Amino acid sequence: MESQQTPNGTNIKKEITNSTHVYDVVIIGAGISGLGAANHLKEQGYENVLVLESQDRVGGRISSQNLSDEVVVDLGASWIHGAGPGANEIPEWRNKLNPIYELANKLNIRTVKTQDDVYDSSQQKYYWYKGGEMPSDIFQVVDKFRSYYEQHCKKANKKLSIQDLFSKFDFGPYQDDEKVKRFILVSDFESEYDGDSSQLSASQIDNQSQFDGEDRIFPLGYSQIPNALAQSIRINLNSKIKNIDYTRDIIDIQTTNNILYKARKLIVTVPLAILAQKVINFTPVLPAKKIQSINRLGQGLLDKLIIQFEEVFWDKNIDWLTYVSDAEQSDWAVSFNHHKYLSQPVITMFNTYNSAVKFSHLSDEELVSSALVALNTMYPRAKVTREKIKGFKRSNWSNNEHAKMSYTFAKVGCTPADSEEIAKGVNNKVWFAGEHTCFDFLGTVNGAYISGLKAAQNIIQSLKA
């Protein structure tokens, strides 16, 4: 066995390829779900297991990078959503910590608590396209809309979108201001669930659970978790899978470099968009019901631009800055003040769905210019220029060939059964895991991790049978 080094210096055990060797289990994808599955199998005594990953690093949609010598930032997941214990009364998780928080504690990885309630208006400031802060009556409208949503979402029928619910709401003084109305949809729903409000299911988006307790971030980056999980298992990086043939007892798994691997059982953890866009050919084709479920879930998009300035010119003591832009699509609607937790002049600016699609085509400099226009409208006295930027990083998840999306959302027409259908084993040989297969915690790191454990447990049962 050789060792291979990822660009961030993590050493990972590499398997020497031998095309006649048959693995008990091959796992496709070294994101948190694949790594969770591989570790579980190892803990249960299964050594003849290999992970195949298309990128030159592990972690998938967990991706920490150095912004400067002193600052590490996350281009994918940042938060442990609810450290626990307990999750919305799900019996399985009652009195238990969020498994990601548990891992962080076990691995001695430092996390920091952020504010508990993202909807806490004392932790938000609203700015708008007219320059500076919005009149404070906006908070009342936003609060009223949230209660309206909570009253109606449970009763909403399967075909109703958030946009449909919204069309019946009275926005009071802002009834005729389309920009403010659009902004409320974006900041409250699209930024959270990363889908267009006409596609977000009114009845299902709140059907997900969340661990109780505080939210936490990783000051030195979320990637510490996948990097640590990758240490004790065999992974071949730069192994992009193009064909899976499960016609016979032994499954053939072929990379784009025509390397062939053989396995008795397989777990596929690639993102929903990779499945939906048929990047991998399955022989025989996957069951029609599974394909329908794959297409019924929503492929979300959320992108970040993380900027380190020379000094802080924004509100230092609040978590969230929200911005009603002049644009049709509510660009730069939400920004997170990292200074409060990192003591560095760093801000993360988010764009969701339609804005994210639009900005995915911009060059880095065009993107930064657009962000500066927004920041200068919010803080006209700051007169921020390009020269005041010490460094920046952007994500561009729709153009990332290994993900093609950010995370899954509950699309109009879907039900929890769709995630279950995707996860199901096919012919007792091929199982699926990943955040999209865990409806209770859709779109989260903890959901992905739990799905990996479940797939590994199913495989152990089937290997023992």
Ligand X SMILES: Cc1cc2nc3c(=O)[nH]c(=O)nc-3n(C[C@H](O)[C@H](O)[C@H](O)COP(=O)(O)OP(=O)(O)OC[C@H]3O[C@@H](n4cnc5c(N)ncnc54)[C@H](O)[C@@H]3O)c2cc1C
Under rule CB under 6 A, how many of the chain's residues touch ligand X? 42
DSSP state of 234: B
Q: Which of residues 444-463 bind ligand X (CB under 6 A)?
A: 444-446, 448
Question: Cβ 38 to ligand X, closest distance in Å?
Answer: 11
Residue number, 280 or 367, with CB nearest to ligand X: 280
Q: Is 428 helix (H, G, I), strand (E, B) or coil?
A: coil
Are 152 and 165 in contact, with CB atoms under 8 Å apart? yes
- Annotated ligand binding at 325? The verdict is no
- The structure tokens listed for 314 are 């924004």
Contact with ligand X (CB under 6 A): which of 49, 52, 103, 430? 52
Q: Per CB under 6 A, does 298 bind ligand X?
A: no
H-only helix segments in 194-249: 224-229
Q: Per CB under 6 A, does 77 bind ligand X?
A: yes
Quickly tell me which residue has 């153009």 as its tokens. Answer: 399
Are 216 and 101 in contact, with CB atoms under 8 Å apart? yes
Distance CA 157, CA 154 (A): 8
Distance CA 182, CA 198 (A): 12
Quickly tell me which residue has 């959270």 as its tokens. Answer: 192
Task: Name 126's bridge partners.
Answer: 322
Candidates 111-119, 143-151, 266-274, 353-361: pick the segment binding ligand X (CB under 6 A). 266-274
Residue number, 31 or 213, with CB nearest to ligand X: 31
Residue 188 backbone class (left: φ over 0; alpha: ψ -120 to 50; beta: rest): alpha
By rule CB under 6 A, what string of x and - marks binding of each residue 350-389 to ligand X? Answer: ----------------------------------------
Residue number, 87 or 156, with CB nearest to ligand X: 87
Residue number, 35 or 321, with CB nearest to ligand X: 35
Q: Please report, as a single letter, which amino acid is at residue 286.
A: L
From the CB of residue 297, how many other CB atoms can be counted at a distance below 10 Å? 25
Question: Cβ 113 to ligand X, closest distance in Å?
Answer: 14
Q: Per CB under 6 A, does 55 bind ligand X?
A: yes
Q: Per CB under 6 A, does 62 bind ligand X?
A: yes
C-alpha neighbours within 13 Å on the C-beta side of residue 245 = 9
Question: Cβ 176 to ligand X, closest distance in Å?
Answer: 33
Question: Cβ 240 to ligand X, closest distance in Å?
Answer: 5
Candidates 50-58, 183-191, 257-265, 318-326: pick the segment binding ligand X (CB under 6 A). 50-58
Task: Burial-class residue 389 by CB neighbours within 10 Å (0-12, 13-18, 19+).
Answer: middle
Contact with ligand X (CB under 6 A): which of 79, 149, 174, 261? 79
Contact with ligand X (CB under 6 A): which of 189, 336, 353, 407? 407
**Which residue spans within 356-416 are E strands per DSSP?**
389-394, 408-409
Work out whether strand 216-217 and strand 112-113 pair parallel, antiparallel, or are unpaired: antiparallel
H-only helix segments in 188-287: 191-193, 224-229, 272-276
Q: Is 406 helix (H, G, I), strand (E, B) or coil?
A: coil
- Annotated ligand binding at 336? The verdict is no
Q: Per CB under 6 A, does 397 bind ligand X?
A: yes
Task: Name 111's bridge partners.
Answer: none
Contact with ligand X (CB under 6 A): which of 111, 161, 204, 269? 269
Residue number, 231 or 376, with CB nearest to ligand X: 231
Distance CA 251, CA 244 (A): 7
Residue number, 156 or 306, with CB nearest to ligand X: 306
Residue number, 81 or 181, with CB nearest to ligand X: 81
Instruction: Indicate the residue whose CB is closest to ligand X.
Output: 31
Q: Per CB under 6 A, does 50 bind ligand X?
A: no
Residue number, 138 or 266, with CB nearest to ligand X: 266
From the CB of residue 177, how many other CB atoms can be counted at a distance below 10 Å? 13
The distance between the two most distant Cα atoms of the chain, rounded to a whole number of Å, is 71
- The structure tokens listed for 429 are 């040989």
Residue number, 181 or 265, with CB nearest to ligand X: 265
Quickly tell me which residue has 């009195």 as its tokens. Answer: 95
Q: Which of residues 82-101 bind ligand X (CB under 6 A)?
A: none
Candidates 170-178, 289-297, 329-337, 402-410: pick the segment binding ligand X (CB under 6 A). 402-410
Residue number, 134 or 274, with CB nearest to ligand X: 274
Candidates 18-26, 76-84, 102-110, 421-429: pick the segment binding ligand X (CB under 6 A). 76-84
DSSP state of 31: B
Distance CA 206, CA 183 (A): 20
Q: Per CB under 6 A, does 81 bind ligand X?
A: yes
Q: Per CB under 6 A, does 443 bind ligand X?
A: yes
DSSP state of 187: I
Candidates 16-24, 58-66, 141-149, 246-254: pick the segment binding ligand X (CB under 6 A). 58-66
What residues make contact with ligand X under the rule CB under 6 A? 28-34, 52-55, 60-62, 76-79, 81, 240-241, 269-271, 274, 279-280, 302, 304, 395, 397, 402-403, 406-407, 434-435, 443-446, 448
Which positions make up the binding site?
33, 350
